[in-house]
Amino acid sequence: MSLGETLREWVAQFLESMERRNYSLHSRKTYGCDLLLFARWVGEQPNLEAPGELTATVLEQYQLHLMLRTSITYRYSQPRTMTAATRNRHLAELRSFFRYLKKTCKLLSNPSLELENARQTKKLPKNILTVPEVARLLQTVPKTTASGLRDLAALELLYGTGVRRGELLGIALTDLRLSEGFVHILGKGNKERVVPMGKAAHKAVLRYLREGRPQLLRGNTSALLVSSFHGGPVLQKELLKAIRSYAKEAGIRKAIGFHLFRHTCATHMLRGGADLRSIQTLLGHANLNTTAIYTRVEIADLQKTLQRCHPREKDAPSP
């Protein structure tokens, strides 16, 4: 058996161990795809024949391969090289994989310990809705239909709590603590947190549960958000299509996606005086540095304000 084939067997065993540790299906698919890419690359190297030959130098060569490898995604018609963030994801998966191999005595040492992440810049969110735009969007949602009440509840939760797309769609009836105004969220890596809904979101959810959800429901599902087509858990495609339709009707020309409301929620809270720790807790960020990107949004806004409003910017002296 070649080393590439051996690695493919080990990847399958590693994925089984991830399943036993309750990793999500999405995570297991991502790990599997990326690690099989590594196994295929190893199989193409004529000088690699035994597991002991997987050294730090070999992994650095693979790191270089990732840097030069083109990646075509659905977003781009032209091939592009992998971003630093994507390469770092591959390296993080390799570290986990090699920890497993050492722990299960398939390897005597862990060569991935010496790998260094690629440097990456934190990109500022490109789109942030203004407060008037959010108001116009919410006003556009019909309050007289069951699907409209569902969409309003979804938008109020997105904007009011900053939940991710998967977190929103994963909310079940048992996750709601309506008497207290809280919702239980299952986030990335199966990390749990409880967040306040806020008055507007709480009101929208209550009305949807009373007047909207019973009309949409067919069969038995515990999902909070129900499809208007089949009566089961709503799919992201259906919900996003509705939200984009409301945005277009409200005259909003910005690219609309679920994450836009997460960025908007965090930015508006920061502008309103919230501290970073509170925003970190609300969004479920493991690292405060992730939350700190929103302070850079504020600095960018401040620079634009300075250029627009400061007398010396308006009437700059000649050189």
The residue type of 51 is P
**From residue 26, how far is each of 74, 93, 302 by CA, in Å?**
18, 14, 39
Residue from 28, 188, 254, 271 carrying the catalytic annotation: 188
Let me know if 230 is a catalytic residue: no
> In the chain, which ranges are E strands?
70-71, 80-81, 176-177, 182-186, 192-196
Instruction: Identify whether 262 is a catalytic site residue.
Output: yes
CA distances from 34 to 55, 100, 305 (A): 19, 16, 44
Catalytic residue among 8, 150, 262, 268: 262
314 as an active site residue: the answer is no
Element (H, E) at 101: helix 84-103
User: Which residue among 150, 164, 202, 213 is the active-site one?
Assistant: 164
Q: Does 65 qualify as catalytic in the annotation?
A: no
Residue type, 71: S
Let me know if 285 is a catalytic residue. yes
Catalytic residue among 259, 277, 296, 310: 259
- Give the integer Cα–Cα distance in Å for 313 and 79: 41
Q: CA–CA separation, 132 vs 140, rounded Å?
A: 12
CB 186 within 8 A of CB 170: yes
User: Could you say which of 8, 202, 268, 285 is catalytic?
Assistant: 285
The yes-or-no answer on residue 164 being catalytic is: yes
125 closest CA partner among 162, 170, 87: 162
Please give the Cα distance from 30 to 45 (Å, whole number): 23
Determine the Cα–Cα distance for residues 85 and 122; give it in Å rounded to an integer.
10
Question: Which residue(s) pair with 34 in the sheet?
Answer: none
Q: What amino acid positions are annotated as catalytic residues? A: 164, 188, 259, 262, 285, 294
